[in-house]
Structure 1
Amino acid sequence: MTSPDQPAQSAPADTSLANRYGAKKRRLSPKAARTAIGAALVVGIGFLAWVTTSNSLSGVTYKDVGYSTTDATLAEVDFQVTREPANPVKCAVKALDSKFAVVGWKVVDIPPSAADRTADGGRTVAQRVTLRTESASVSGVVDSCWIPAGAS
């Protein structure tokens, strides 16, 4: 006599899936999630504060004000430089032709000045630079300004 075949006991679906794909992922507790979000906010606000203040603490900013062409060999560039009055500054000024090629270049020394009774305490100075050019220029700009090494 034979007994009828008994169906095999199958494992529950959750257990077989866990064996195949691994256990379910655990979620962060609400307290840990709040702590992580709070830490991310503090780091983000600190980074924004650093970015905002680091640019203003660099010491030198410049602004192009005007440009004129005297003739095919001369150009004048007007600009303003803002820095601490006690710091000397160097600025690279360039003249460009219609294809944006540099046709004139000059590094200008701006000496320190005494803090006077202007609205900003002598921080901003206006400069006019005359550049010799190789050919006719159509624009003139300040390329960069910096405080020379050992000056601050």
Structure 2
Amino acid sequence: MTNLDERYGRTRPSLVTRVSKWVSGLSQTLIIGIVAAVLAVGVFGFWLLSTLSGSAASESIRADTLRFVVDDDQQGITIDAQINAPAGKPLACAIEARNERHAIVGWDVVELPPNEQHLQHLSYHLNTVGVPTTVLVAECWIP
């Protein structure tokens, strides 16, 4: 320390003061780190559980449109689809018919009884309120 420090009252903090400030800063950092780690584990766990529970039902069902035929009067459409789903479970599938502007002109939910095979064939006629240009199985689920 110099004479100026003594004159104006600036003193160097003692070793105990410096160590206690370092420990208190370390503990704050440690607490923040622990809280951040707990939040990260919680968010990861929530994501993992929601992914696993959602994929068991939705990813195990797949519907593919094989072909469709528009009626001669253009007020209906017939779809042939193939559905890959768990065997022995009933299914419900939403069918949508759309026009050239992609507006929905027909919609229905078709319920399928349990089938012992994973692969099922669906043939369904859908009445429409406009001229359909395409039809698709929008979604299938186990009711």
Once the two structures are superposed, what CA deviation does each residue of 1:38-57 show, in whole Å capped at 9, x if it has no partner?
A: 9956973x556535532342
Aligned-pair Cα RMSD in Å: 3.7
Question: Counterpart of 1:93 in structure 2: which amino acid?
Answer: I
Aligned length: 124
In the TM superposition, structure 1's runs of 4+ consecutive aligned residues that sit over 3 Å from their partners are 36-44, 46-53
Could you tell me how far apart the structure 1 residues matched to 2:101 and 2:90 are? 33
Q: Does residue 1:143 correspond to 2:138, yes or no? A: yes
Could you tell me how far apart the structure 2 residues matched to 1:142 and 1:40 are? 38
Question: Counterpart of 2:107 in structure 1: which amino acid?
Answer: W
Q: Which runs of 5+ in 1 are unaligned?
A: 1-5, 116-121
Range 81-90 or range 125-134, more displaced: 81-90
**Equivalent residue, structure 2, for 1:130:** 125
**Equivalent residue, structure 2, for 1:118:** none
Could you tell me how far apart the structure 1 residues matched to 2:50 and 2:106 are? 34
Q: Structure 1 residues 134 and 38, CA, compared in 2 at 3 Å: closer, same or farther? A: closer
Could you tell me how far apart the structure 2 residues matched to 1:128 and 1:91 are? 12
Q: Structure 1 residues 147 and 42, CA, compared in 2 at 3 Å: closer, same or farther? A: closer
Q: Structure 1 residues 8 and 106, CA, compared in 2 at 3 Å: closer, same or farther? A: closer
The residue correspondences of 1:93-112 to structure 2 (distance < 5 A) are 93-112=95-114
Q: Structure 1 residues 132 and 39, CA, compared in 2 at 3 Å: closer, same or farther? A: closer
- The counterpart of 2:87, out of the listed 85, 88, 113, is 85
Q: Which runs of 5+ in 2 are unaligned?
A: 1-5
Q: TM-score with structure 2 length normalisation? A: 0.63
Q: Structure 1 residues 126 and 38, CA, compared in 2 at 3 Å: closer, same or farther? A: same
Higher helix fraction (1 or 2): 2
**Residue 62 of structure 1: how far off its partner (Å):** 2.8
**Equivalent residue, structure 2, for 1:61:** 61
